[in-house]
Amino acid sequence: MQQPGRAAEIKANGIGKSFGSFRALDNLTLDIGRGEFLTLLGPSGSGKTTFLMILAGFVQPSEGRLFSDGADITDRPAEQRAAGMVFQGYALFPHMSVEQNIAFPLKVRKKSAAEIKQRVGEMVERVGLKGHEKKLPAQLSGGQQQRVALARALVFEPGVLLLDEPFSALDKSLRGQMQAEMKRLHQETGTTFVFVTHDQSEALALSSRVAIFNHGKLLQVGRPDEVYDRPANRFVAEFLGEINMLPVKGVKPVDNGATGLCEDRAVNMRCKAEAIKGDAILAIRPEHMSIAPEAASGENGIAATAVASTYLGAATKLDLTTRQGAKVTVSVPNEVAAAALSKGNSVWLTWPAEKGFLLPGGGQ
């Protein structure tokens, strides 16, 4: 149906937006590749939705230029940009049937009745709404309304599809189903998808790249595994999932990474430490730490005492306190957690050198 070549390539060049004295978006430069699935992730008020609205043409940037396939579209009104958009809450036309909703962008483009009928039919089938064509949006479930919104935004084969927190109103199981569906639609259409969410697991699961925003600034862009395993700063590290932060002293680069002192024990890191010297923060995800009776010499490890556990079914979340009072959380097999708690005395926390990464010490 859609030629992958039709997907748009977007360049944002120094985009900024102020609402009065509020700086919603600051000096954003970002390339969105052809056919990419890019997620804009951040807490509310971080600027991600503002950027999406600027992409759609609903909000005019205060400065910077926006290019689509090389053409400057900064001043082009929304109705001429041909970006498909799925809104939070769907924004379906309440007085039109499913069929009429999906046909709307084609009617606007003055397609022939025969073509409209054929393409709406295809789209209805593709999103699994067959048999619901004549219904009004109010007669549909949340998931079905979502499908109508997707079909309406994709039927005119836009170069880019913009999605503003489309799943926020759905319950958890339906959300998983719709995520899978959206991934399939992305592959089938080959269109560039730009997706806004504040749910980090959704972002990691769906995207080819994730862009993380906070306070109007773009903090990091990268593949899900890059931003998760190698966050650029503390905010990104914490926003993408639970993480342990341990102070390290005397960090210095070595051949294959860096080394430093954590709780008076030498620890090794695989990451490069050009920018980070002296005191820093060592960050390790809970699932990358294990519990051991002792740490071999040369192995990364610190001593700690288990204080509490939370049973999660497949695993147990165990809270520990290190000798120097740092709080650490690990995700371990249930029986390991039980054993560590019952012992009541010190255990060792160990982790592979490549799973720990350094962040600048202090506030950042």
Q: Out of 20, 94, 362, 363, name the contact with another protein by CB under 8 A.
A: 94
At closest approach, how far in Å is the CB of 90 from another protein? 8
Q: Which residues lie across from 351 on neighbouring strands?
A: none
Q: Which stretch binds another protein (CB under 8 A): 88-96, 126-134, 235-243, 317-325?
A: 88-96
Q: What would the DSSP string read from start to end of 161-175?
A: EEEESTTTTS-HHHH
Q: Which stretch binds another protein (CB under 8 A): 12-20, 79-87, 181-189, 353-361?
A: 79-87
Q: Out of 10, 24, 151, 153, name the contact with another protein by CB under 8 A.
A: 153
Does position 120 interact with another protein (CB under 8 A)? The reply is no
What is the chain's Cα-based Rg? Answer: 25
Phi-psi bin for 233: left (phi > 0), alpha (psi -120 to 50), beta?
A: beta
At closest approach, how far in Å is the CB of 300 from another protein? 51
Does position 116 interact with another protein (CB under 8 A)? The reply is no
Ranges of H-type helices in the chain:
48-56, 98-108, 113-126, 142-154, 172-189, 200-206, 224-229, 234-239, 334-343
Closer Cβ to another protein, 110 or 172, answer by number: 110
Does position 362 interact with another protein (CB under 8 A)? The reply is no
At closest approach, how far in Å is the CB of 102 from another protein? 10
Closer Cβ to another protein, 81 or 198, answer by number: 81
Residue 151 sits at φ, ψ, to 5 deg, of -65, -45
Does position 281 interact with another protein (CB under 8 A)? The reply is no
Measure the CA dihedral 331/336/340/346, to 10°: -80
Q: Out of 78, 174, 292, 336, name the contact with another protein by CB under 8 A.
A: 78
Does position 142 interact with another protein (CB under 8 A)? The reply is no
Does position 119 interact with another protein (CB under 8 A)? The reply is no
Q: By C-alpha distance, which of 91, 92, 73 is closest to 82?
A: 73
Phi-psi bin for 112: left (phi > 0), alpha (psi -120 to 50), beta?
A: beta
Q: Which amino acid is at 249?
A: K
Does position 208 interact with another protein (CB under 8 A)? The reply is no
At closest approach, how far in Å is the CB of 108 from another protein? 4
At closest approach, how far in Å is the CB of 160 from another protein? 11
Does position 85 interact with another protein (CB under 8 A)? The reply is yes
Distances (CA, A) of 94 to 27, 89, 167: 38, 12, 19
Q: Are 26 and 50 in contact (CB under 8 A)?
A: no
Does position 135 interact with another protein (CB under 8 A)? The reply is no
For another protein, the binding residues in 180-199 under the rule CB under 8 A are: none
Q: Out of 56, 267, 276, 359, name the contact with another protein by CB under 8 A.
A: 56
Q: Cα separation of 17 and 62, whole Å?
A: 5
Phi-psi bin for 258: left (phi > 0), alpha (psi -120 to 50), beta?
A: beta
Does position 211 interact with another protein (CB under 8 A)? The reply is no
Q: Which stretch binds another protein (CB under 8 A): 150-158, 201-209, 231-239, 260-268?
A: 150-158
- State the residues that interact with another protein by CB under 8 A: 56-58, 77-85, 87-89, 91-95, 104-105, 108-109, 152-153, 156, 162
